[in-house]
Amino acid sequence: MGEILVTGGTGTTGKLVAQAMARLGLPHRVGTRAPAAPHHVAFDWTDHALAAKALEGARAVYIVAPTDRSDHGRVVVPVLEAALAKGVTRFVLLSSSMLEPGGPMMGEIHAWIAGHAPEWAVLRPSWFMQNLITQHRQSIVEDGAIFTATGQGRCGFIDAQDIANAAVAALTSDAAWNRDHILTGPDPLSYDDVAAALTAGLGFPVRHVPLTEEDCAARWRAKGMDAAYAATLAAMDGRIAKGAEDRVTDAVSLLTGRSPADLPDFIRRHRDAWGDEFQTQKG
């Protein structure tokens, strides 16, 4: 049968994909630049020889492109060409609801996969609920605030667990999907709605502070973020403000047979992620 190589297997979605594989007893290995467990294998998208070695004997690959660069066609596609030559048949790409095939970054990989892979799927999730415990956690805990340039724009926030469930289905289904799917949670929410859900779920006030794109980018830069990445994130907020993400789909239910988690449920399950520092601060 061959194994499934889970790239990005130490990250938000990949870790959940690998956990599901382990639970289901599916042969898999996790590709990481810093192997630290028996099922880990050394893997770096920028080291094509190393990546090719990690692909030996694999039949499928979950693709999380490198998160610190944007030249995905140049860096990732040669690795996928090697994978194809080594007999990998199924390619499942994590892209984004905002990236069209042939567009920048994962859009370049999407176009290659659709044109070359024997079996494939592209998952295009909306914004992760997990951003509230990564990107926005510090301001939620320290300032009781989320700062964005999204205005009143709404977004179909999704739990990464639902993305992982869809990825596992795409990697293991008998028939390949050979298409992309836009994945969202159940509700289109503005960041005002998100702040209200956090306030209700965490028991302390959280507000949404709307910023201009410029101020938003400056804020991320002040936190140490690379200037280009800060500008990209702020511009994406601007697109949300204009309504680009104001939609929900039923793809998660159709693909996994389970309804996607809503935000109050996510907050309840992850309450501890914001709790300790808040308690310390208040104490």
Ligand X SMILES: NC(=O)c1ccc[n+]([C@@H]2O[C@H](COP(=O)([O-])OP(=O)(O)OC[C@H]3O[C@@H](n4cnc5c(N)ncnc54)[C@H](OP(=O)(O)O)[C@@H]3O)[C@@H](O)[C@H]2O)c1
Given candidates 101, 125, 153, 185, which one binds ligand X under the rule CB under 6 A?
Answer: 125
Token pair for residue 210?
């709307």
C-beta closer to ligand X: residue 53 or 204: 53
Least Å distance, CB 136 to ligand X, is: 11
Q: Does 13 bind ligand X (CB under 6 A)?
A: yes
Size of the site for ligand X (CB under 6 A): 25
Q: Does 116 bind ligand X (CB under 6 A)?
A: no
Three-class secondary structure of residue 104 per DSSP: coil
Given candidates 1, 34, 49, 175, which one binds ligand X under the rule CB under 6 A?
Answer: 34
Q: Does 44 bind ligand X (CB under 6 A)?
A: yes
How far apart, in whole angstroms, are the C-alpha atoms of residue 240 and residue 192?
13
Could you give the dihedral angle defined by the CA atoms of residues 208, 211, 217 and 223, in that order, rounded to the nearest 10 degrees?
-50
C-beta closer to ligand X: residue 37 or 254: 37
Site string for ligand X, 93-112 (x = CB under 6 A): -x-x----------------
Three-class secondary structure of residue 148 per DSSP: strand
Could you give the dihedral angle defined by the CA atoms of residues 150, 154, 155 and 157, in that order, rounded to the nearest 10 degrees?
100
Neighbours of 167 (CB within 10 A): 31
How far apart, in whole angstroms, are the C-alpha atoms of residue 169 and residue 121?
10
Given candidates 22, 27, 46, 102, which one binds ligand X under the rule CB under 6 A?
Answer: 46
For binding to ligand X (CB under 6 A), which residues are involved? 7-8, 10-14, 32-34, 43-46, 64-68, 94, 96, 125, 127-128, 131
